[in-house]
Amino acid sequence: MQGGGAISYILQHYQSSECQLRTLTRNASSPAAIKLAEKGVHVIQGDSSQREDLNKLLNGATHVFALTFSDFEKNRELDNGRLLAQTIAQTQSITHVVFSGGQRTGIDVLDVKAKIESEMREIWSQSQEAKRHLQWVLFLHSSFFYENLLTKSGTKRVHRSETDANSILFKAPLPSNLAVPMVSATDIGRAAGYALLNSDKFSDLASLLNKPQSRIEELKSIQLIGQIADGETFAERFNAASREIGQGMTATYQASGANRATLAKDLPPKEAAAIEIMYKWYESMADNAKRSADDVHNCSSRFPGVVRNIHEWMKQEGLAAIIRVL
């Protein structure tokens, strides 16, 4: 979603015969890859864990939006991030980089992106080669995805009522009374595209050009938040958007998953530990939201019309996505 969001935004807002978009995929024959190729994107088949494939993707590139995928295999994502940082450092054509990283939560399994970001800062700050060509680096931090309330790891989280075709239920493990920072996964990519096309607007956070005293490891990050909300607010925003377009559907929210008090007796130790980590993550996000409510205003100012609140997202793409899931 993030890569697709970046590509769509750039294609929509920047038309130039001198600009060629590239993306890496493991299957260049997939329907999604074919659609991108039809739009003029150069689709390269390869694996981001392979140095040769990364070189093929990045050689000659000037602006890069990069992200890594969480697969929870020990060190795999971290190794991929390290390889990405090293390849960017060695690719002398690259001047601008946006990386979709993450803030530290204190929960080890969830902190991989924060570790990758730290390694990037270290690798690039110690590389004279990187210092010669990297002019601008921006780190974006995401929040709880709106899309996680629709589906996750193939598990459907939105259901149509058996008795009323116009009534739906969102059922996800987010506690119903816990408000956390939320954002659309697509908007992470849209924000990256916006930043790459408007790099001058982020010079206070990202620019190294003409600032010899700047240090890469000191570059700041931006947490992307469309809205601070709980599951019930998400359902309410669905209802409001549905009314506005005359769709006539209504939704409610129900928290699912194990209750923390019953984890030990109801689940095997491994599954109980995983759920405990999940609850700690939710709570850390909620605590951060209390301390950083200004981030919502900061995002709307930094990324006007790009990082959307739930209502905006619902009207523009959320409702359609929910109907597809149903």
Q: What is the 3-state secondary structure (H, E, C) of 211-239?
A: CCCCCHHHCCEEECCCEEECHHHHHHHHH
Give the pLDDT of residue 17: 63
Q: Between residues 55 and 217, which one has the greater pLDDT?
A: 55
Q: Give yes or no for a contact between 177 and 190, defined as CB atoms under 8 angstroms apart.
A: no
Stretch 5-14: mean pLDDT: 92
Give the pLDDT of residue 273: 76
Give the pLDDT of residue 259: 65
Q: What is the dihedral of CA 245, 246, 248, 250, to 10 degrees?
A: 30
- What band does 35 get if pLDDT is binned at 50, 70 and 90? very high
Stretch 35-56: mean pLDDT: 94
The span from the CA of 145 to the CA of 117, in Å, is 20
pLDDT tens figures, 117-152: 999 999 998 888 998 899 999 999 988 899 999 998
Query: For the chain, what percent of residues have pLDDT higher than 70?
Result: 92
Give the pLDDT of residue 211: 56
**Concatenated DSSP letters of 170-221:** EEESS-TT--EEEE-HHHHHHHHHHHHHTGGGGHHHHB-TT-TT--GGG--E
Q: Cβ contacts of residue 235 below 8 Å, gap of 6+?
A: 170, 251, 252, 253
Position 214 pLDDT exceeds 80: no
Stretch 310-325: mean pLDDT: 95
Pairing of β 136-141 and β 144-145: unpaired
Position 307 pLDDT exceeds 60: yes
pLDDT tens figures, 228-284: 999 999 999 999 999 999 888 999 999 987 666 666 667 777 777 777 777 777 777
Give the pLDDT of residue 212: 61
Determine how many CB atoms are found less than 10 A away from the CB of residue 118: 15
pTM of the prediction?
A: 0.90
Apex 187 CA angle, 59 and 41, nearest 5: 35
- Per DSSP, what are the bridge partners of residue 223? 141
